[in-house]
Structure 1
Amino acid sequence: MIALNRPDLSDIHAGDWVDRRLPVAWRPFTRLARLDRPVGIWLTLLPCWAALIQASHGWPDIRLLLVFSLGALLMRSAGSTINDIADRNFDGHVERTRFRPLASGQIGVPQAFVFLAVELALAAMLLIFLTPFTRLIAIGVLPLVLIYPFCKRFTHWPQAMLGAAFNWGMLMAWAEIAGHVPAAAVLMWIGAIAWQIGYDTVYAYVDVRDDTSLGLKSTAILFGPHGKACIGLFYALTVGAWTIGGWLSGMSIAYGAGMLVIAGHLAWQTWRLDLARPELSYRLFLSNILTGALLAITTLIGTW
């Protein structure tokens, strides 16, 4: 097992904007929804925007942008709430998660379930603005959202399940605009799953010691000291799937240039990765917001 030099890795820090600006009663729910850590929202939203642009072959309808943006926010928040409910007995023993609301006792499980019901109800309300076919596709993500938090108990591949759920909005975008889900859309989605396996493995190396001691599983534990090579492989699969998916969807040659930029950025991440430095792993994980932004920009210039 890799020896880790561990700084303070907690993902909740006292005195941040939540503590300074929000009423006390709101704070645990804000943290439960991860509104204080919006990286996951961006990593869900940006591929969805890219799919809307690609399916529209240009700038998408503003109404759809708003509906899908709110949907990404609500479903990511609901997924985070489910995850914290499922992991409440583990999180208190993990450096990064020990101060989360359920693990630290700031709120109870019944309150978390009520909050989850509100999040899911608000997300369901957005479906009235979408076609029946898109609603049907949307329902398909629910099993993934519910199963994911328990995956780390029985498989080393929870990151794959999370990637499928996180990027489900890409399939919904094509269903809404094109009326079907073509092979190009599926390839873009598969590329996003490979990308998420890569960057979420980087993130998992932050917790690898604690997860191992608790008997949990992850791709970081599975890959061990071979993590850099494995992450690089999944990033290569990402670029390959996105390149072919863009070609099948009729993107211009400018899209290929954008893919080269994305490939360079992911190669840089892999080169910089040091499995024994969890604080660096976390920073490299955050840099994938740029990857998502590059994908959205690349699909936009690919329509020119």
Structure 2
Amino acid sequence: MARQGSPRADLIADRQIGWIGRLPAWIRPYAELARWDRPIGTWLLLWPCWWALALVGPLPDPVLLVLFGIGAIAMRGAGCAINDLADRDFDRRVARTRQRPLASGRLRPRDALAFLALQLLAGLVVLLVMPPIAIVLGFLIMPVVVAYPFMKRITYWPQAFLAICFNWGAVVGYAAATGHLALPALTLYLAGMAWTMGYDTIYAHQDKEDDALIGVRSTALLFGANTRPWVIGFYAAMLAMLVLTGALAGLGLLFYLGLVAVAWALWRQIRGLDFDDTAGCLAAFRANRLVGLLVALAFMLGHLRF
């Protein structure tokens, strides 16, 4: 169970919602471990799943919408637990993360492991009610999920491994909705990967000074002063892959008009962004929730014919 009498994390820099503080004291460290107070990560994991459902039809299956919603909450929480277990020593040395439950000592590793197991079980239950191909695909990504937290130790491209994990739901979602895979699912996956490379590079700029001191690597450190053109390139690649996905799926004109709104949201996010401004980088990162929504709406509109 969570340790009592340890320092609390009442003020967490990137917290979005404060209801965690109203939970019983023994639950709070687990809620913080799963990032329930910071749902942006869950949205970013969920949107590619919902994009795939919207790509298949104008009215996505409500059962699949709910299942992927539950799965995203469980698997994002599991991913955060794996990440924090692997990084607890690093987290103690980074200003933004030193109050996380494991880094601060408010939660013991064995308790985090038990909570991880519960979340993985919830994700497994969701996965097992899907078609066989979706089940197989769901299991295939797990080695990358487990490996991801260690990539920042050996490569300047940990964001690429996050992109592989976070957007796999596009492939699983398409398979769950159709019972098979097709080229539009793969191009959608590539679009999501490019998106993640952009927004997580922005996110990584929050920690670049601490990361440089402790020897952790990221694209933020790799790109440095050249980050803006790289992020623009990632977002341009995302849009190109979305256009290709729409063409392969035979979507109508409204889809492409919807992508204009997506492009506007992406440009608004990075226009004038100071990559040395921690608060600005966090705000830009969070703005991708709107981007995800606009992409989903564009897919749904693309099925309409006049």
Q: TM-score with structure 2 length normalisation?
A: 0.93
Question: Which residue is 2:45 aligned to?
Answer: 44
2:257 and 2:15 mapped to 1: Cα distance? 39
Out of 10, 13, 18, which is 1:10 matched to?
Answer: 13
Deviating above 6 A after TM superposition, structure 1's stretches of 4 or more consecutive aligned residues are none
CA contact 1:48–1:170 (8 Å) conserved in 2:
yes
- Offset from partner CA, 1:259-289 (integer Å, 9 cap, x none): 1111122122222311121110111111011
What's the secondary structure of 2:180's corresponding residue?
coil
What's the secondary structure of 1:25's corresponding residue?
coil
Give unmatched runs, 5+ long, in structure 1.
Answer: 1-7
**1:161-176 superposed matches below 5 A:** 161-176=161-176
Give unmatched runs, 5+ long, in structure 2.
Answer: 1-10
- Offset from partner CA, 1:76-127 (integer Å, 9 cap, x none): 1100110010100000111111110000000111111111011001111112
2:192 and 2:221 mapped to 1: Cα distance? 22
Question: Which residue is 1:197 aligned to?
Answer: 197
Q: Which amino acid aligns with 1:38?
A: P
1:226 and 1:9 mapped to 2: Cα distance? 29
Question: Which residue is 2:220 aligned to?
Answer: 220
1:53 and 1:16 mapped to 2: Cα distance? 32
CA contact 1:205–1:278 (8 Å) conserved in 2:
yes
CA contact 1:156–1:221 (8 Å) conserved in 2:
yes
CA contact 2:54–2:299 (8 Å) conserved in 1:
yes
Structure with the greater relative contact order (CA < 8 A, sep ≥ 6): 1 or 2?
Answer: 1
**1:55-74 superposed matches below 5 A:** 55=56, 57-74=57-74
CA apart distance, 1:25 = 0.4
CA contact 1:273–1:281 (8 Å) conserved in 2:
yes
CA contact 2:12–2:99 (8 Å) conserved in 1:
no
CA contact 1:9–1:95 (8 Å) conserved in 2:
no
1:272 equivalent in alignment to 2:272:
yes
CA apart distance, 1:184 = 1.0
1:176 and 1:18 mapped to 2: Cα distance? 33
CA apart distance, 1:12 = 5.2
2:45 and 2:171 mapped to 1: Cα distance? 13
Q: TM-score with structure 1 length normalisation?
A: 0.94
CA contact 1:33–1:81 (8 Å) conserved in 2:
yes
1:232 equivalent in alignment to 2:232:
yes
What's the secondary structure of 1:241's corresponding residue?
helix
Q: Which amino acid aligns with 2:99?
A: F
Q: Which amino acid aligns with 1:18?
A: I
Q: Which amino acid aligns with 1:42?
A: W
Question: Which residue is 1:4 aligned to?
Answer: none
CA contact 1:12–1:99 (8 Å) conserved in 2:
no
CA apart distance, 1:9 = 7.5
1:88 and 1:289 mapped to 2: Cα distance? 28
CA apart distance, 1:179 = 2.1
**1:167-186 superposed matches below 5 A:** 167-186=167-186
**1:55-204 superposed matches below 5 A:** 55=56, 57-204=57-204
What's the secondary structure of 1:24's corresponding residue?
coil
Question: Which residue is 2:31 aligned to?
Answer: 30
